[in-house]
Amino acid sequence: MLQRTSRARLADAVSPWFVLIGFNLFCVWAATGYVMGQTQSKEYAEPEWYADLWLVLVWVTYFVVYIRTLARRAEPHIYVANWYYMAFILVVAMLHIVNNLALPVTWGSGESFTIWSGVQDAMIQWWYGHNAVAFFLTAGFLGMLYYFLPVRAQRPIWSYRLSILSFWGIVFFYMWAGSHHLHYTALPYWVQTLGMTFSVMLLVPSWASAGNAIATLNGAWHKVRDDAVLRFMFVAAVFYGLSTFEGSFLAIRPVNSLSHYTDWTVGHVHSGTLGWVAMIVFGAIYSMVPKLWGRNDMAWPKAVEWHFWLAIAGTLIYVVSLWNAGITQGLMWRAYDEGGALSYSFIESVEAMLPYYAARTLGGGLFLAGALLCALNCRATMRAAGNRVDEADRPLATQPAE
């Protein structure tokens, strides 16, 4: 995408491979860390210091490749998708470094102590944690949305001004919102209130992005109906709008008193990751794979349709069951009987979860089945590679700047 929107080749031949392999190595370390008990226990930042340092190295290389490629661009303007990628790379680096500052116990051991402690640690953790959602799980994927959706729909982005507004809104507002994870805790009240306020304001740039994407489809609705790939992207934008609304809602203090610590939060995160992040990725995969292997379409077009409905059904079942689970937990924990005693013991609220967790497993299973179908479809497409070359793949003559 960077190459296409800049009309320039990647800046280096070796370092992109280092980023690819290095990042995956980090993922392997992180995942095995859970199993082996090598964790610093910070949410979304579990890997220990050696893995964290490695990631910094990979990430800096990533930034250098990115900025050097951008410097070669034949377009005078940097396309909006690339603003988001830039914010993604820069802010994730900022968050990662600050939150993971730690003192290793000895250089020979994997263990370390976070230099932050107590309430400051909690604030830094959720400043990080919430913006891991914002910049790791949103900014990069908005970049995909801003490129693949207009390309697939063959329509220009609806509003340039709205893109500017929502981009800077997201970069600015999100960084304040983390403290809504700490309502009613030992964090000073004014910080909680600031976090809540900015979380609500965040709805403006979030809906501006989602609205911009959906308005771009105006005049192309028949394509949304007929093309499952574009439908994936449309649904992603809708889920993005819905889960950001839910996020702002859950950040309001009294709502949070019910929802916090329950499965509602888990459901909310999954409506974002399954409904928004994964859907836009599927849309991007189905756009890219045939192009890269010189074909007009995926090898099994019908499987794309199947995948779409499996993913939608899976996500909805998953999210709705966890809404019910979370609200049930929240209400059971705070219920009093006439005598003024708590109505339920904790374990009764655990027992009540059985049907919801069963439904959640079913939903997750459907979603996973869809993803497997996608992987098989990609494999089949790669094996049946063609030799189609797009008009646009040929270098364009340089045009004078406007």
Partner 1 sequence: MLKLHYNLEKVSMGLVGAIIAVASVGGIVEIAPLFTIEETVEIPDDMRPHTPLELAGREIYIREGCYACHSQMVRSLADELDRYGPYSLAAESAWDHPMLWGSKRTGPDLARLGEKYSDAWHVAHLIDPRSVIPVSIMPAYPWLTRDLDTGLIEDNLAALARLGVPYDDAMINNAMADARAQSQPDSDRADSVRDRYGEDIAVRAFDGDPSRLTELDALVAYLQSLGTLTDDAHEMFGEDAQ
Question: Is residue 266 a contact point for partner 1 (CB under 8 A)?
Answer: yes
Question: Cα 35 to chain center, whole Å?
Answer: 24
State the minimum distance, in angstroms, from the CB of residue 210 to partner 1: 21
H or E element in which residue 114 lies:
strand 112-114
Q: Per-residue contact track with partner 1, 29 to 48, x per CB under 8 A?
A: -----x--xxxxxxx-----
- What are the residues facing 102 on neighbouring strands? 114
Which residues ranging from 197 to 236 are in contact with partner 1 (CB under 8 A)? 198
Among positions 194, 201, 215, 313, the unique one binding partner 1 when judged by CB under 8 A: 194
State the minimum distance, in angstroms, from the CB of residue 212 to partner 1: 16
Stretch that binds partner 1, among 12-20, 90-98, 277-285, 301-309 (CB under 8 A): 90-98
Q: Which is nearer to partner 1, 226 or 351 (CB)?
A: 351
What's the CA gap between 52 and 44, in Å, rounded?
Answer: 12
Question: Is residue 117 a contact point for partner 1 (CB under 8 A)?
Answer: yes
Total residues contacting partner 1 (rule CB under 8 A)? 84
Burial of 41 (0-12, 13-18, 19+ CB in 10 A): exposed
What's the CA gap between 93 and 360, in Å, rounded?
Answer: 34
Stretch that binds partner 1, among 50-58, 226-234, 297-305, 347-355 (CB under 8 A): 347-355
> Closest by alpha carbon to 3, among 232, 292, 282, 283?
292
State the minimum distance, in angstroms, from the CB of residue 302 to partner 1: 40
Question: Is residue 398 a contact point for partner 1 (CB under 8 A)?
Answer: no
CB 196 within 8 A of CB 164: no
What's the CA gap between 242 and 207, in Å, rounded?
Answer: 9
Question: Is residue 180 a contact point for partner 1 (CB under 8 A)?
Answer: no
Among positions 13, 14, 118, 390, the unique one binding partner 1 when judged by CB under 8 A: 118
State the minimum distance, in angstroms, from the CB of residue 326 to partner 1: 10
Phi/psi at 382 (5° precision): -65, -35
Quote the tokens at residue 218: 């105006």
Q: Which is nearer to partner 1, 117 or 387 (CB)?
A: 117
State the minimum distance, in angstroms, from the CB of residue 216 to partner 1: 19
CB 141 within 8 A of CB 196: no
Quote the tokens at residue 258: 């019910």
Among positions 119, 137, 200, 359, the unique one binding partner 1 when judged by CB under 8 A: 119
H or E element in which residue 112 lies:
strand 112-114
State the minimum distance, in angstroms, from the CB of residue 169 to partner 1: 10
Among positions 336, 358, 361, 396, the unique one binding partner 1 when judged by CB under 8 A: 336
Quote the tokens at residue 111: 């263990």
State the minimum distance, in angstroms, from the CB of residue 308 to partner 1: 31
